[in-house]
Amino acid sequence: MKKLPPAIYVLGAVSFFTDIASEMVYPLLPLFLTGALGASTTVVGLVEGIAEATASLFKVVGGRISDRMAARKPLILLGYGFPALLRPILALAAAPWQVLAYRFLDRVGKGLRTAPRDALIAEAVGQDSYGRAYGFHRAMDSLGATIGPLLAFLLLPLLDFRGVFWVSAIPALLATLVILLFLREKRGPARPLPPLRLSAFSLQYRWFLLVTGVATLGLSSNAFLILRLSDLGLSAAQATLVYTTYNLLYALMAYPLGSLADRVGAKTLVMLGFVTYALVYLGFGLCSAGWQGIVLFLLYALYSAAFEGSSRAYLAQIIPATEKASAIGLYHTLVGLLLLPASALFGALWQHFGSSVAFCTAATLSAIALVLFWLDPTSRHRYTS
């Protein structure tokens, strides 16, 4: 098995440091807003809703600009470096609107960098290594997401909210330095692109967008899984520990499952992800004991590790080289925008009909996505990528 090129390790390190910084802050923001700044839960929801919608919309913008420039590094540097410089806004915030400004600008950066970064990963390796490359990147991302909350947990009693926010700037700036010093790319000539039209992409790509759209409508925020653990009798501390273990398992399994995708086909691993998601959510809908919820949450890491990397690998295989970042950005934008109605639907079903109905509905949508993906009319061979 040949080694991955340096760009993959560099981007993995960048995501590792960035996720440490982000996850040091993210779990504390609701408490900071409501406790230190006196914001209502409605304001908390508004801040997070605007933030995630912003990231989703700017993903296609970042991809489009990157394809026009025929360059990835400038957008990657801007997308990671700009948010790193914004930490003082958060650490010095005296009103909820300042936190909103920070989250908005931070998510603009995330939106701008996502598609160029994923495109550069695809361009740095051959098609036979897509799974390993994306799997390694997801592993480093999740490892950072595991370390970040643990650091926040340890530092909070010593430094309080603002002190943790200041410290989070250190890994964010390290990520920026890694890009500046070590990331290399072969930049092509800038070129005009035709207007972005869905019809310009292949039927296979459009079919995958349909499949992903159906599956995304069945996705819910991980907050609902944590809430389900609470319903099953786990304390807040126990639920947090389970979530941390989930992130660690995700990090450990992402690379092996990415390697498996290269051997058996990315499409097979995407299908495994759909199956796992449906079974886990069905289990959450039917289980009645805390230990069952813990087992299911940890199995959910298998879905995340199998689907997140292999779906990116499959996407990289079916999109044109000249508009790679645009296609990836459009995909991420679709997923991001659908997550809002998906979580709203899940929450409404839970509130009016109970958690079992909500989880079983999500499992059904994942099963429908699985069938649609298996029936892909553009694929000659059902079980190859």
Q: Which has the minimum average pLDDT: 163-172, 318-327, 368-377?
A: 318-327
* Helix 355-374 and helix 266-286, axial crossing angle in degrees, nearest 10: 160
User: In whole numbers, what is the pLDDT of the chain averaged over residues?
Assistant: 86
For residue 326, pLDDT over 60 is answered with yes
Closest CA to 108 of 131, 78, 87, 88: 78
Local structure of 120: helix, strand or coil: helix
CATH class, domain 203-375, is mainly alpha
110: tokens are 């995330």
Confidence of residue 384 (pLDDT cuts 50, 70, 90): very low
CATH fold of 6-182:
Growth Hormone; Chain: A; (1.20.1250)
* Whether pTM exceeds 0.85: no
For residue 364, pLDDT over 90 is answered with yes
pLDDT digits (tens, 9 = 90+) for 248-290: 898 899 889 888 888 888 899 999 999 999 999 999 999 999 9
**Domains 6-182 and 203-375 alike in fold:** yes
The three-point CA angle 172-22-136 to 5° equals: 85
Q: Which has the minimum average pLDDT: 24-38, 159-173, 356-370?
A: 24-38
Which residues neighbour 325 within 8 Å (Cβ) at sequence distance 6 or greater?
62, 63, 64, 66, 67, 72, 115, 116, 118, 119
Three-class HEC string of 124-193: HCCHHHHHHHHHHHHHHHHHHHHHHHHHHHHHHHHHHHHHHHHHHHHHHHHHHHHHHHHCCCCCCCCCCC
Cα gap 212→372, rounded to integer Å: 10
269: tokens are 């691993």
For residue 120, pLDDT over 90 is answered with yes
Q: Which has the minimum average pLDDT: 73-87, 123-137, 310-324, 361-375?
A: 310-324
Cα gap 58→5, rounded to integer Å: 28
Helices (runs of H) and strands (runs of E) counted in the chain: 14, 0
pLDDT digits (tens, 9 = 90+) for 10-34: 999 999 999 999 988 887 887 788 8
Domain ranges of the chain: 6-182, 203-375
Confidence of residue 6 (pLDDT cuts 50, 70, 90): very high
Cα gap 125→266, rounded to integer Å: 15
Confidence of residue 116 (pLDDT cuts 50, 70, 90): very high
Radius of gyration of the chain (CA): 20
